[in-house]
Chain A
Amino acid sequence: MSSTVLPPYEGTRVTEEPPENYITAGHTVKSWLLTGDHKRIALLYLFSTAFFFFLGSIAAGLVRIELTRPNGVMLESETYNKMFTAHGVTMIFFFLIPAIPAIFGNFLLPIMIGARDLAFPRLNLFSWYLYMTSGVMLLIVLCLGGVDSGWTFYTPYSSMYSNSQVTLTILAAFIAGFSSISTAVNFIATVHKMRAPGMTWFRLPLFVWSHYATSVIIVLGTPVVAITLFLVVLERTFKLGIFSPELGGDPVLFQHLFWFYSHPAVYIMILPAFGVISELFAAFSRRKIFGYHFIAFSSLAIAALGFLVWGHHMFVSSQSMYQGVVFSLLSFLVAVPSAIKVFNWTATMYKGQVHMRTPFLFALGFIGLFTVGGLTGLFLSSMGTDMHLTNTYFVVAHFHYVMVGGTILGFLGALHYWWPKMFGVMYNEFWGRMSALLVFVGFNVTFLPQFVVGYMGMPRRYHYYYFAPEFQVYNILSTAGASVLAVGFALPVFYLTSSIRKGVKAGANPWGAHGLEWEIPSPPPTANFDRIPIVTDDVYDYESDARRPNIEMIESRTPEQLASTKETH
């Protein structure tokens, strides 16, 4: 055991029966649906976000199939519009924004800081119910024929002209916003006031720092978009003049307010993944993370700068040129803290013992894809090149490199890293690696051609491209890649679920990693800790503890040794 001190046990340790954990603590449906346990709520979120990810993927698949021929394959133009809107709305509001914070943040944040639960367990459960309410509303929207305004709901199309289910979709997004605000308020209060003795701000794992920064963005940004979208509903329902030029309103004002949230929302989606990647690099390089303070503060810098760059979505929306210059410059500045993170992560590997396990493969994939995504962002934040590239597939490829290559790879890395902690079992390493490989390859085959075809001028959101049949080869490549990607995403469903039934029991710390979550049994007991720990060692303190077992040493043990948590120390 490292120098983190747990107060000694007073009672006798019962070793015959497996100790009760948060999963076995109750077996009724009610014990799940009315739980206050942050770990159970995390699992509720895991299954519900996975469902919406599946739904959004189907919509994406239909879009990709449709684009294999210049004249389309099977969808009507309106259906096509509804498909890409369904894909965008589902993926952004129902997967990317809640996924990492609501699953892994919920599960790990209290454990990482040495607390028994989040500050407001009932609020936490309430946020899941809000999420499910808005999710059911989305399903109703899809059953009633869908929505065709794009996930951005630009006015006046959304407020005056669209004949699809805009109102209900916006209300769903509105409610989902309250769900994230609840989670964010919970995280902020928890991180401020519930850290264990000795867990100073600079001993917080970077995962906690990035979730803190994310929560700040959510609290500041989400209300703005919520009220803006609500005004669109009012304009649509009661013909109040706010954004529609016919009624004296200003449609560009909608774009300003929308992007004031929705650009920071990009950081709401990516910052939690940054936190995951920091954990993975330290654990699988077995080194203290390089430049801890820089990574921590760059999260806050991204949170602050993220609020000052929204205008780069509007270079061609009649924004003044001088405004554009300022937004362009500020957008370039965001690249600095992002680059600091990437350099620090790669520097962490230097002279470390690198273990190429499944979670780390996802982390390495993240570095490659996120870097491409970030750097192509610079093409779009400089006004001259953006004139050419705006609203083309170049933009689509750019943000998929950040959102899929960044957030989803971070999500999968987190899933594979903390799966043994969440369920107490190891999954099949071979299939895990296969999944990482397929996702990486499939992703690049899907989205690299889109950079090219976007640069050649293919507009996004177009149903046909018969005017330029030379785009077809890129679109076919893209669709082929998407099929590989789909296999890569589907694989974990099988090997992870089968691991629950027949996986090898994971000990408390199957990776030999450092951190409070690895000091407690897997799966953790409902109260997390017998006693609140007193933290005396630094964060990611791998070097000073030479006795700490590494992954190979742990794997060479017998299952009986693994099952006993105390023996790893």
Chain B
Amino acid sequence: MASVAHDHPEGLHHQFEDIEQQNETYLVGMWSFLVSEIMFFGALFMIYILYRWKYQPDFYLAHKSLDVMWGGVNTTILLISSFAMVMAVHAAELKKRMNVLKWLTLVQLCAVAFLFIKFTFEWPAKAHHGFVPGVNFSPDPHYLQEMGMQALNVRPAEIFFSLYFGMTGFHALHIIVGILMIGVLMKMWAKKHPLVIHDYIPTELIGLYWHFVDLVWIFLFPLFYLIPN
């Protein structure tokens, strides 16, 4: 062992021998956490698949009420944010502080835009048409007629919207957590915190999380908005 106990450089925690070990351990920890996240969403996707199988015609009719345009815009926004995150991590590796901050700002703007579209254009429209699942679930008949959805059965439609709000809501929650984490990260970069300045790994870890959140949306978008009859 080359290193001597209790003679640790800055940013190295006491339980690690050197910075490489610490970085690798953090990466393994993050990936393990992401595996558990996959299982979280995996259970929801499983429920979606089973009910889609059981109520295929109703799911098709119900999906017509989703706005592919806004969904597509949001998908594009998240893809841009993923690109910005890649560039931020790259800049962190090169220790270009201002570039990191620039790209992370773009990520934050994208994330906020995504939530803004979801919570102002998408969800309220569903509520307006009476699609909020629960005791008050009563789709507006005029709207159904207008969209050619008269044949929609109430119970399967409610399950569709339970899953829609549940899964996109759970995803939105992850976006919010991401915004908070990236905010902390930006503050650390802005204040030249040694943890992020000396090493790109903290940036990389949050990047991994962010890519995961984007990837979930890449599955959610076709499942809810796109699948044809």
Contacts from A to B (Cβ < 8 Å): 7, 110, 115-121, 181, 184-186, 188-190, 192-194, 197, 219-224, 226-228, 231, 234, 238-242, 247-250, 253, 257, 260, 527, 530-532, 534
Contact between chains at A241 and B158 (CB < 8 Å):
yes
For A257, the chain B residues whose CB sits under 8 A away are: 43, 46-47
Q: Which residues of B35-84 have CB atoms within 8 Å of chain A's CB atoms?
A: 35-37, 39-40, 42-44, 46-47, 50-51, 54-55
Q: Would you call the interface of chain A mostly helix, strand, loop, or mixed?
A: helix
Contact between chains at A531 and B5 (CB < 8 Å):
yes
For A250, the chain B residues whose CB sits under 8 A away are: 50-51, 54
Contacts from B to A (Cβ < 8 Å): 1, 5, 13-17, 21, 24-26, 28-29, 32-33, 35-37, 39-40, 42-44, 46-47, 50-51, 54-55, 133-135, 153, 155-156, 158-159, 162, 166
Can you list 8 A-B contacts with CB-CB less than 8 angstroms, sorted by A residue number?
Answer: A189-B26, A192-B28, A194-B15, A220-B39, A223-B37, A227-B44, A240-B133, A242-B162
For A220, the chain B residues whose CB sits under 8 A away are: 35-36, 39
Smallest beta-carbon distance A226→chain B, Å: 7
Contact between chains at A219 and B32 (CB < 8 Å):
yes
For A219, the chain B residues whose CB sits under 8 A away are: 32, 35-36, 39
Contact between chains at A248 and B156 (CB < 8 Å):
yes
Given A231-B166, A257-B43, decide whether A241 and B21 contact each other with a Cβ distance below 8 A.
Answer: no
Cα-based distance from A118 to B26 in the complex (angstroms): 12
Smallest beta-carbon distance A529→chain B, Å: 8
Contact between chains at A120 and B29 (CB < 8 Å):
yes
| A118 touches which of B15, B43, B155, B159 (Cβ 8 Å) | B15
| A193 touches which of B5, B21, B36 (Cβ 8 Å) | B21
Cα-based distance from A192 to B42 in the complex (angstroms): 25
Contact between chains at B28 and A223 (CB < 8 Å):
no
**Residue ID in chain A nearest B17 by CB atoms:** A532
For A115, the chain B residues whose CB sits under 8 A away are: 15
Smallest beta-carbon distance B163→chain A, Å: 8
Given A192-B28, A527-B14, decide whether A241 and B36 contact each other with a Cβ distance below 8 A.
Answer: no
**Residue ID in chain B nearest A254 by CB atoms:** B47
Contact between chains at A188 and B15 (CB < 8 Å):
no
Smallest beta-carbon distance A351→chain B, Å: 38
Smallest beta-carbon distance B194→chain A, Å: 18
For B16, the chain A residues whose CB sits under 8 A away are: 194
Given contacts A119-B26, A185-B32, A257-B43, 11 further A-B contacts (CB under 8 A): A110-B15, A117-B14, A194-B15, A223-B37, A223-B39, A224-B43, A231-B47, A240-B162, A241-B158, A241-B162, A247-B159
